[in-house]
Amino acid sequence: MNEIFKFLLISISIGFAICDESWRFITLADWHGGEGFVKSPGMNLENGPVEKKMKLETLQYLKKTFGGELVMLPGDSNGGHWDGPEMVKRINESNLTTTEDIVLKAGDNCYRTIRLLFKEGGYPTMLMTTGDHEYGGNPWNPNTTHLRVQPQFRETYQRNFNRDTQTGQFLFSEPIGSSPSRPLGTPFENTSYAYRYKNALFITLDAFRLIDDYTQKFWDKSTGRGGQGAVTCTIDGKHLDWLENVLKEARRDLTIKHIFVQAHVPVLQPVRKVNSSGQFMDDAEKSEFWNIMRKYSVDVYFAGEVHTNTATKDEESNIVQIVSRGNFFNNFLTVDLTDTSIHITSYNEIGVLPQNNNNYEAWGDLIIDKSGSETQILSSGSLELLDIRAPLIHFAFDEISQLENSRQVLALNHDDHKTTLVARKITIRGIECRYSMYNHGSFGRKLLL
C-alpha cells in the first residue's frame, strides 16, 4: 500500500470518527526528567534551578497546545541510582545514616516534586508505572546493597505516586465490576492497578518481580527469561489472576469501549532500541500474560524502556504494542478516543536547543477503527506497523543524504545542536559524521507526507 493511499484512508477514518464525542490523553514513556528533584525538591521556582522552570513551561505548553485529560507514563521518571554513599551529599541530609533511609528520602524528594510539576503543568491525573529506574536501575546483582533496598524503592514509589499525600488513601481504588482495582495480597498491590476513565479502562502493571531465590542471578538462555540479575519481568501467579478478573469484568461492561494496558518493558520483539539495556517481558508473545490479553481483546499495550518508537500488531489478534520515547519531553504520543476509534499520533521535538524547544512536529500516526464489522488498523510514519517478516535493515549504499534538521538521528546529540545551522554533524567514537544512509528496511523511519 503506497503512502498516498494510506494518507487517504487515515483521513477518511478520521472523518467518520468525528461524529462521536472525542477526548484525549498523553503518553510519555521514559521521561527521565525528575532526577534533579532529588537534591532540589518542591516547586519553589524563584530559588530553584532554571531546569525546573523550563520543565514546567514545557508541560504548560503541551497542555495548552495538545491538551490531554490525563497523562500515562510507562516507567522511568528519573535516574534512580540512589543506593550509593554519594547520595548523602546530594540530598544534603547528614542525619540519614542508612542506605534504606537515603533511598526513601531521595524518592520522596523526587516523586513528590514530579507530581507537583505535572499538576501545575495541567496534568493532575498521572497513571505512572514502575520502570527499572524506579527500582534503582538494572541489573540487580545478588548480594548487593542495590538489591537489598528494593523494598524501600517500592515503598517511596507507591506512597508518592499512588496515594494521596495528605490522607494516604490509594488514588485508584474504584473496583472494576466485582473485581478490586488492584491485586490485593500480592507484592504488587500498591503498584499495579486498574482505572476507569470515561469510555476507557487503563491497567497499569508493575512487571518487576524479585525471584524466589534472590541470592542468585536468574537467566534462562533457552527461553530468554531473566538476564538482569535477581529481578525479572513477568506477570504471573495471583498477579495474573487479578489481571484476568479485571479484564473479564471490563468485557461485561458495554460502556467500556477500549482497554489499554501499560508496563515498562516490551513484549513483542524485535523493537528499535537506543541507549538501553533492552529488557523485555519473559516468554514474550508466548507468555500467559499475552495470551490473556488476546483472550479479552486488549486494544493497545503501551511500553517504554528502549528509548525509541516501534508499533507492532500481534499476529494472532488485533492487539497493537506501541513502544514509545519521551526522554526529557523530546517525544510523546497523543491518543484521541471516540466510542469507535483510537487515533494515536507521535510527536517529535524540533529546534536548535537540546531540550525544551516547545516546538513539535507530527512523526507518525496509527488509527484503530472499530466502526465496521471488522477492526481496521492504519498506520504511517514512526508508528507504521513493523513488518517482522521483512528485512529489518536494508541499505542502498548509493543513497547518501546530508544530516540536517529534517533528518534527525533520534536520541543522538548533534555536535552543533546549540547553533542555528541547518547542516548537522555527529561525532561517533572520534569520527565526524555529516551524512547518513536511508534504511529501506522495516526498521527505517517512514516519512509522513
pLDDT in tens, 247-264: 999 999 999 999 999 999
pLDDT value, residue 237: 97
pLDDT at 80 over 80: yes
- The structural domains of the chain, ordered by start, are 3-389 (3.60.21.10), 396-449 (no CATH)
Which stretch of 101-105, 149-153, 216-220, 400-404 has the lowest confidence by average pLDDT?
400-404
pLDDT at 15 over 70: no
pLDDT at 245 over 50: yes
Highest averaged pLDDT of the listed ranges 39-43, 47-51, 341-345: 341-345
For β-strands 395-402 and 331-337, DSSP reports them as: unpaired
Which stretch of 210-214, 320-324, 384-388 has the lowest confidence by average pLDDT?
210-214
Which stretch of 2-16, 106-120, 340-354, 402-416 has the lowest confidence by average pLDDT?
2-16
Q: What percentage of the chain has pLDDT greater than the value 90? A: 67
d(CA 375, CA 138): 38
pLDDT value, residue 49: 78
Which stretch of 114-123, 333-342, 359-368, 404-413 has the lowest confidence by average pLDDT?
404-413
pLDDT at 238 over 70: yes
Name the band, by pLDDT with cuts 50, 70 and 90, for residue 18: very low
The residue with greater pLDDT, 412 or 334, is 334
pLDDT value, residue 442: 78
pLDDT at 447 over 50: no
Name the band, by pLDDT with cuts 50, 70 and 90, for residue 84: confident
The residue with greater pLDDT, 407 or 294, is 294
pLDDT value, residue 448: 35
Which stretch of 92-106, 413-427, 435-449 has the lowest confidence by average pLDDT?
413-427
pLDDT tens for 400-428 read 777 765 555 565 555 555 444 445 677 77
pLDDT value, residue 12: 46
The residue with greater pLDDT, 320 or 389, is 320
Which stretch of 14-23, 303-312, 388-397, 429-438 has the lowest confidence by average pLDDT?
14-23
By CB atoms closer than 10 A (0-12, 13-18, 19+), residue 242 is buried
Look over the chain and give the mean of its residue pLDDT values, rounded to a whole number: 88
pLDDT tens for 177-236 read 999 999 999 999 999 999 999 999 999 999 999 998 778 899 888 888 999 999 999 999
The structure's pTM equals 0.90
Name the band, by pLDDT with cuts 50, 70 and 90, for residue 316: very high
Name the band, by pLDDT with cuts 50, 70 and 90, for residue 351: confident
pLDDT value, residue 29: 97
Name the band, by pLDDT with cuts 50, 70 and 90, for residue 310: very high
Contacts of 241 (CB under 8 A, 6+ apart): none
Name the band, by pLDDT with cuts 50, 70 and 90, for residue 445: low
pLDDT value, residue 449: 31
